Amino acid sequence: MSRPVPQEHVIVIGCGAVGRQVIVELRRLGTRVIAVDHDPDRLALAAATCPDDAELTVLDADAFDPGTLARAHLQRARALVSTLQATRDNLFVCVMARHAHPDIPLVARVALPADAAKFRAVRVTTVEPADLGGTTLARVMSNPELAHFATAVIASTDLPEQLRVIPIVRGAPAAGRRLGQADLQRASGCVILGVRRGARGPFRYNPPASTKLPPGGALVALGSEDQLAKLVSLVGYPA
Amino acid sequence: MSTRSRSSFADSFRLGSSLASVASAAERRQRYVRLVRASILFFVVLAIGAYGFWTLTGHQHTALQCLYMTVVTISTVGFTEVIPVDTDALKVFTMGTILFGGASIAYFLTSIAAVIVEGDLVYRFWQRRLLNRVAAQREHVLVCGLGLTGRRTFSALHHARVPVVGLDVRPERVETLMQSAGSDVLFIVGDCFEEDTLLAAAIGEARGLVAAFPDDRDNLLLCVTARQLNPNLRVVVRLNHKTNAPLFDNVASATVDPATLSGARLANEAVRPDLLAFTDALLTPDTRDLLVDELPVEPHAPLAGATLADAHLVSRTGALVIGHRLGRTGSFTYNPPATLRIEHGATLLVLGDRRALARARRLLRAAPKTWLGRLASRPGRPR
């Protein structure tokens, strides 16, 4: 996201193997995290993933206790991720959070494909570890470069390049012009992979030079931190 | 739970053996018993009939005539009677023969039909054909361990039209796989840790192997075994504990850790779902024909020696260069600078649809303009 590091935190429920990875990734993305678990050992492991990190708070509490979400400041949170093992536990946490806060984005881990529908009913995005692992194994087998590219640009810590979605703001220097005219690639050094009209909807991949940069739409670009910052200055702020 | 602990049925299932449970094996035996019983009954009825006609006519007909008479009678065909039924005793005997004979024929035919229709013969043919098809596979991928993860791997490869063979010791897992992926899938029910199973799956001709067991000990054993049988195999492993990753360094081509992956995915879904939508579309093969491919730069290619900026690959071909590396192997540098010179021997990572990639490949290949020149430069062809 193009916004500066958000001040709102993400609540992570459960600090098992998956939960700890969520914490690591969120901290890498610069998001403040409150991690909740009732097992002090697991909390210690979670705290050890990001030592001396003031932005990571661990909360020793029972996730099924209605007071816990309030203690984790659900009302001011940016999102909640439930990483418990059992479907019923995750569903319980998600429904409770949905009741307390009707608009907050919720993400949950589910074990079986059949369970995803139950979560959709309370507007929860679901992630299935088995599905993700299985599909990735297949991709790594049949198309390793593509699989590596997709995971590297999203989830790697050691690459300077990043893939980012950048909204096009009305009145920005490049907004409304054609891709070929604005020559963003040369001006910023980023590769433009896709363009989207409007705030939602599908991206148009590998856009031709004649594509207009629609104000209110967005770009997907690949580049280093500096290059992306340059690109944001061209499309992300009104001149 | 270790997958090495065999299911209770394991002993009754050998390589490529029945999908059905022990109960249906018993049922099958029952059908054979019935078939044997019916044929014995049928022949006894024939023998009694022939003997009856022979004695009741005072031994004046040959054995063949008597047998013919019996068959004509009980099959209800009723051609001309070679033995005239003129005495009362003969009439009563013929009526009895017709009744018993008809019933025994019906029983005989239904028991044959049961063996065929209830799947036995068909199953045997199918099973042999399956094993032959598996053994004939070339450049295929073996997916070992058909749990939730393995089944997803299998389906994804199957969907991408990669020839794939599933292996698991538990027949019920193969059944679950067939429910989701269709019944034309190739599989072997057998223990992946026995070399015979892997050899039956034509591991020597295989392109790759996916070890998808939920226990790293199993995966490691499988990797080592597979590498010994085929050193050129591309082995991809499901990693169940991140700390075990170094163990697979020398035996596997790549490891995939579902816990790390799903952790990263959960976090990204929470804070930047847009980006996931982008990469998902990139990775889904059937939404559009967008591909990422490696294109090697050959000497004397039209674009060799030009800088990326001068090459204008996007406007000329529609293909977008997203990565670069020197040499044929190693990791890519993403987003190469426009001043980068495209030297031969390097490899470009390019994004585009099929046609754009084909055009780009032409520009990076050593291809003289005229067909005569192309003919002359073809390797191994005398001028």
Query: Tens digits of per-residue pLDDT, B298-357?
Result: 888 888 888 888 888 877 888 888 888 887 777 778 888 888 888 888 888 888 888 888
Indicate the pairing of strand B208-211 with strand B141-144: parallel
Cβ within 8 Å, pair A78-B265:
no
Q: Note whether ipTM > 0.85 here.
A: no
A3: pLDDT strictly greater than 80: no
For the beta sheet containing A124-127, the strands, ordered from the edge strand earlier in sequence to the opposite edge, are: A56-60, A32-37, A9-13, A79-82, A106-109, A124-127
Residue predicted with more confidence, B12 or B188: B188
Q: What is the CATH number of the domain that holds A189?
A: 3.30.70.1450
Position B380 scores a pLDDT of 43
Cβ within 8 Å, pair B264-A164:
no
Average pLDDT score, chain B: 82
| Position B354, amino acid | R
pTM summary value: 0.70
A136: in domain: no
Q: How confident is the model at residue B216 (pLDDT cuts 50, 70, 90)?
A: very high
Identify all chain A residues contacting B259, using CB atoms and an 8 Å cutoff: 17-18, 21, 129
Position B353 scores a pLDDT of 80
- Indicate which of A94, A126, A137 best probes the interface with B, i.e. most B CBs within 10 Å of its own CB: A137
Half-sphere exposure of B271 (CA within 13 A, CB side): 30
Identify all chain B residues contacting A80, using CB atoms and an 8 Å cutoff: 270
Instruction: Give dist(CA B154, CA B177) in Å, integer.
Output: 8
Rounded to the nearest angstrom, the minimum Cα separation between A65 and chain B is: 23
Question: Measuring CA to CA, which residue among A144, A153, A110, A129 is closest to residue B210?
Answer: A144
| Position B317, amino acid | T
Question: Measuring CA to CA, which residue among B304, B282, B317 is closest to residue B364?
Answer: B304
Q: Residues B98, B70: contact at Cβ < 8 Å?
A: no
Instruction: Give dist(CA B239, CA B232) in Å, integer.
Output: 21
Position B10 scores a pLDDT of 40
Instruction: Give dist(CA A202, CA B263) in Å, integer.
Output: 25
Does domain B124-256 correspond to CATH entry 3.40.50.2300? no
Question: Measuring CA to CA, which residue among A12, A140, A139 is closest to residue A79?
Answer: A12
Do both A178 and A103 map to the same domain? no
Position B1 scores a pLDDT of 39
Coil, helix or strand at residue B110: helix
Query: Which residue has tokens 């770009």?
Result: A219
Q: Residues A110, A104: contact at Cβ < 8 Å?
A: no
Of A103, A127, A151, which residue sits at a domain end?
A127
Cβ within 8 Å, pair A206-B290:
yes
Cβ within 8 Å, pair A147-B283:
yes
Question: Measuring CA to CA, which residue among B138, B139, B137 is closest to residue B187?
Answer: B137
Rounded to 5 degrees, what are φ and ψ at A67? -75, -20
Indicate the pairing of strand A79-82 with strand A56-60: unpaired
Do both A96 and A178 map to the same domain? no
Coil, helix or strand at residue B360: helix
Task: Report the CATH superfamily, name and number, of domain B289-377.
Answer: Regulator of K+ conductance, C-terminal domain (3.30.70.1450)
Position B289 scores a pLDDT of 64
Cβ within 8 Å, pair A222-B271:
no
Q: Residues A34, A73: contact at Cβ < 8 Å?
A: yes
Position A197 scores a pLDDT of 83
Q: How confident is the model at residue B23 (pLDDT cuts 50, 70, 90)?
A: low
Q: How confident is the model at residue A4 (pLDDT cuts 50, 70, 90)?
A: very low
Question: Measuring CA to CA, which residue among B245, B251, B257, B244 is closest to residue B228?
Answer: B251
Q: Residues B219, B238: contact at Cβ < 8 Å?
A: yes
* DSSP β-bridge partners for residue B187: B166
Task: Name the closest residue on chain A to residue B209, using Cα atoms.
Answer: A141
Interval A185-224: pLDDT, tens: 778 888 888 888 877 777 777 777 788 888 888 888 888 8
The CATH 1.10.287.70 portion of chain B extends over: 22-117
B22-117 to CATH, choices 3.40.190.10, 3.40.50.20, 3.90.650.10, 1.10.287.70? 1.10.287.70
Number of continuous H segments (helices) and E segments (strands) in chain B: 14, 10
The CATH 3.40.50.720 portion of chain B extends over: 124-256
Planar angle of CA A225, A230, A234, nearest 5 degrees: 145
Q: Which of B258, B309, B315 comes nearest A133 by C-beta?
A: B258
Coil, helix or strand at residue B35: helix
CA Rg value for chain B: 34
